[in-house]
A and B are shown apart, each in its own frame.
Chain A
């Protein structure tokens, strides 16, 4: 009897934390592999439209983004604005922006650059058409309408 009693009063040993660094490192590597660095800070509010027939762009390094939407900062009004890189831009600055993007890449990659337009779904088409015409004028014909998966 006394043998069993002695055994049951023994306190449980603490959980070993020796494997904790391994677990955390594993998590770290998982996140490093599956995620990408955040691009620019958004100055415009964008709710993407939904679409079912979307395709994934393979090479993110060859994608440039044009953001169109109402500004986050209420002082700038509520009309949609265009953002290129980290700042607001006027229509005639798009051309310059594209030259800059082409210059920073390898010459061979230039024809494969996709311009992805992230446009807020409540934007009026005039803005979208203006940007599109500007892209056509600069011969940037491969474009993507960014959307979210639905259904």
Chain B
């Protein structure tokens, strides 16, 4: 009996692995849209470049990787209302209700299907924002086109790229964690996406601090002097 069990045990030890799949999840932008987020508005884009020599530069200025996290946080919160960083617009209940009313009336008067759908979308974003204000009160919203644009050279090493991705992720995660502690007195990591109580909280926090990392179009990055 023990021999058979031993045999089976050894078989399973050899053929199976214990490691679980971990990593950084990303959602890629669809191909056909191919937006050019960068040139749109300078202050809304945080340009992160890594050149072929694995040197990091942010908005054209060389930067150490240790400073990237605080840089991203500053970009996303713009604490001093700087003119070179994205303008944070405050969102409160009144503004949301106004937006909903406006979108509703526009939808009623829409002449064709296409514009109706546009207003429908508008309406749902306002409704979503209203739900957020109900959960966490008034908040400062990042402009919808604000984005972190990450670009690499073709000879940049993957390790460096992952380091930068990790820092970007960490910055957003830090902000969310801080907000979650402040508003809900809980840790953001402990919120469970599968529980129906926690899901709105997660959505609200993600709405305030969205993770917008664009890796859209790979361009050649010139080396920085």
When the two chains form the complex, which single residue of B16, B22, B30, B154 contacts A147, counting CB atoms closer than 8 Å? B22
Do A144 and B28 have beta carbons less than 8 Å apart? no
The distance in angstroms between the C-alpha atoms of A32 and B161, with both chains bound, is 37
Do A120 and B2 have beta carbons less than 8 Å apart? no
The distance in angstroms between the C-alpha atoms of A142 and B27, with both chains bound, is 5
Determine if A63 is an interface residue (Cβ-Cβ < 8 Å).
Answer: yes
A32 shortest CB reach to chain B, Å: 6
Q: Chain A CB within 10 Å — which of B1, B5, B12, B158 has the most?
A: B158
Do A38 and B158 have beta carbons less than 8 Å apart? no
The distance in angstroms between the C-alpha atoms of A135 and B30, with both chains bound, is 9
**CB proximity to A under 8 Å, residues B1-44:** 1-2, 5-6, 8-9, 12-13, 15-18, 20-31
The distance in angstroms between the C-alpha atoms of A114 and B162, with both chains bound, is 18
Do B25 and A124 have beta carbons less than 8 Å apart? no
Q: How large is the interface on B (under 10, 10 to 19, 20 to 34, 35 or more residues)?
A: 35 or more
**CB proximity to B under 8 Å, residues A96-151:** 114, 116, 119-126, 128-129, 132-133, 135-137, 139-149
**In the complex where A38-B16, A139-B31 touch, is A119 in contact with B158 (Cβ < 8 A)?**
yes
B56 shortest CB reach to chain A, Å: 13
Stretch from A4-12, A23-31, A82-90 that touches the partner: A23-31
Determine if A91 is an interface residue (Cβ-Cβ < 8 Å).
Answer: no
Determine if A76 is an interface residue (Cβ-Cβ < 8 Å).
Answer: no
Determine if B124 is an interface residue (Cβ-Cβ < 8 Å).
Answer: no
Do A56 and B20 have beta carbons less than 8 Å apart? yes
The distance in angstroms between the C-alpha atoms of A124 and B18, with both chains bound, is 29
Nearest B residue (CB) for A60: B21
Do B9 and A128 have beta carbons less than 8 Å apart? no
Nearest A residue (CB) for B166: A51
Do A126 and B24 have beta carbons less than 8 Å apart? no
* Interface flags, B200-225, vs A, CB<8A=1, else 0: 00000000000000010010000000
Nearest B residue (CB) for A65: B21
B66 shortest CB reach to chain A, Å: 13
Residues of A within 8 A of B170 (CB): 52-53
**CB proximity to B under 8 Å, residues A38-66:** 38-39, 49-57, 60, 63
A65 shortest CB reach to chain B, Å: 9
Do A24 and B22 have beta carbons less than 8 Å apart? no
Determine if A1 is an interface residue (Cβ-Cβ < 8 Å).
Answer: no
Nearest A residue (CB) for B171: A53
The distance in angstroms between the C-alpha atoms of A141 and B31, with both chains bound, is 9
Do B24 and A145 have beta carbons less than 8 Å apart? yes
B-to-A contact residues, CB < 8 Å: 1-2, 5-6, 8-9, 12-13, 15-18, 20-31, 152-159, 161-163, 165-166, 169-170, 173, 215, 218
Complex A-B: 17 CB contacts under 8 Å: A28-B5, A31-B9, A35-B16, A37-B16, A39-B17, A49-B162, A51-B162, A57-B21, A116-B21, A116-B23, A119-B158, A132-B28, A132-B218, A139-B30, A141-B30, A143-B28, A148-B22
Give 6 nearest A-B pairs by CB, closest first: A35-B16, A121-B159, A126-B154, A24-B5, A49-B162, A21-B1
Q: 18 extra interchain contacts, Cβ-Cβ under 8 A, other than A35-B17, A140-B28?
A: A31-B9, A31-B13, A55-B24, A57-B20, A60-B21, A125-B152, A125-B154, A125-B155, A125-B156, A125-B157, A129-B154, A129-B218, A136-B29, A137-B31, A139-B30, A144-B24, A145-B24, A146-B22
